[in-house]
């Protein structure tokens, strides 16, 4: 039987999927997508993912899933023993709601302005304004995430697909020196205690950074 094929970029949103894959434990092959080199625009990659985005997970039957939400939901369904998505309908829906907010709002509306300001303007001075706006937006968006963590620990009592998504945005914030609200900071540190997170961050080249964070 063919392995899963995972197309990812270290330190990107694919880190969240990488963590979920390690949590679930399937055999998978990793294919690195160098965004700076434009690998996502190559003909071979576009045949898998016409959107030219990451992550992409190719299933054993050749089906390609090409966004964080679909991949994380598939993993939760394919490995129910890992309890990545609650059996309770309302909790499942709330988990998807939070996951969607993290990926499409914190990431899609906030961090894209910080990391890809050139997509918003070709003028350098305007790009600086866009990045500053992005930092403001991300800070505001994390305040809502902080409210969701009111009970402490994970978002919904135990580790879920939404926690993996929130973690990668928290990691980005730490990486660029953007302060996290207190509960998000606690969530970030909690995530760092998971074996899967430690393994993934080390494999992706951030082991030294994690050592400094833990001091």
Residue 215 has pLDDT above 60, yes or no: no
Regarding whether 96 and 62 lie in a shared domain, the answer is no
Q: Which of 57, 82, 107 is the last residue of a domain?
A: 82
Regarding whether 62 and 38 lie in a shared domain, the answer is yes
Residue 209 has pLDDT above 80, yes or no: no
pLDDT of residue 187: 98
Mean pLDDT of the chain: 95
Exposure string of 149-166, with b = 16+ CB inside 10 Å and e = fewer, is: beeeebbbeebbbbbbbb
pLDDT of residue 151: 86
Residue 76: closest CA among 5, 142, 165, 145: 165
Is the bond preceding residue 55 a cis peptide, omega within 30 degrees? yes
* Cα 7 to Cα 29, 195, 215, distances in angstroms: 8, 22, 32
pLDDT in tens, 58-112: 999 999 999 999 999 999 999 999 999 999 999 999 999 999 999 999 999 999 9
Where residue 2 falls among pLDDT bands split at 50, 70, 90?
Answer: low
Domain that holds residue 147: 89-213
- Helix (H), strand (E) at residue 5: strand 4-8
Residue 46: give its domain's CATH number: 3.40.30.10
Structural domain tally of the chain? Answer: 2
Regarding whether 109 and 185 lie in a shared domain, the answer is yes
Where residue 34 falls among pLDDT bands split at 50, 70, 90?
Answer: very high
Where residue 211 falls among pLDDT bands split at 50, 70, 90?
Answer: low
Phi first, then psi: give them for residue 172, nearest 5 degrees.
-60, -45
**What is the token pair recorded at 153?**
């620990």
List, in sequence order, every beta strand (DSSP E) within 128-169.
none
Regarding whether 68 and 121 lie in a shared domain, the answer is no
Regarding whether 201 and 97 lie in a shared domain, the answer is yes
Q: Which of 28, 60, 82 is the last residue of a domain?
A: 82
Regarding whether 132 and 59 lie in a shared domain, the answer is no
Regarding whether 173 and 101 lie in a shared domain, the answer is yes
Residue 159: closest CA among 15, 13, 24: 24
Regarding whether 76 and 175 lie in a shared domain, the answer is no
* Cα 114 to Cα 128, 147, 182, distances in angstroms: 9, 24, 22
Residue 172: give its domain's CATH number: 1.20.1050.10
Q: Which of 82, 117, 141 is the last residue of a domain?
A: 82
Regarding whether 77 and 11 lie in a shared domain, the answer is yes
Regarding whether 182 and 126 lie in a shared domain, the answer is yes
Regarding whether 117 and 45 lie in a shared domain, the answer is no
**What is the token pair recorded at 49?**
């993912």
Q: Provide mean pLDDT across the span 112-125.
A: 95
Residue 1 has pLDDT above 60, yes or no: no
Regarding whether 105 and 188 lie in a shared domain, the answer is yes
């Amino acid at each position: 039987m063919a392995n899963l094929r995972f197309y990812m970029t270290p330190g990107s949103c694919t880190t969240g999927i990488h963590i979920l894959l390690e949590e679930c434990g399937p055999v998978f092959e990793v294919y690195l997508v160098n965004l700076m080199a434009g690998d996502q625009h190559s003909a071979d990659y576009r045949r898998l993912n016409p959107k030219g985005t990451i992550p992409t997970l190719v299933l054993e039957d050749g089906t390609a899933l090409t966004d964080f939400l679909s991949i994380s939901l598939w993993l939760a369904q394919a490995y129910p023993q890992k309890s990545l998505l609650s059996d309770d309908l309302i909790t499942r829906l709330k988990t998807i709601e939070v996951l969607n907010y993290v990926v499409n709002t914190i990431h899609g509306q906030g961090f894209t302005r910080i990391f890809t300001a050139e997509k918003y303007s070709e003028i350098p001075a305007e790009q600086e304004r866009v990045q500053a706006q992005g930092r403001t937006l991300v800070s505001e968006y994390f305040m809502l995430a902080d409210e969701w963590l009111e009970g402490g620990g994970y978002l919904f009592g135990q580790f879920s697909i939404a926690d993996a998504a929130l973690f990668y945005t928290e990691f980005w914030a730490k990486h660029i020196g953007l302060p996290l609200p207190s509960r998000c900071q606690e969530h970030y540190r909690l995530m760092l205690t998971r074996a899967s997170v430690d393994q993934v961050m080390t494999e992706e080249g951030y082991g030294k950074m994690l050592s400094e964070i833990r001091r």
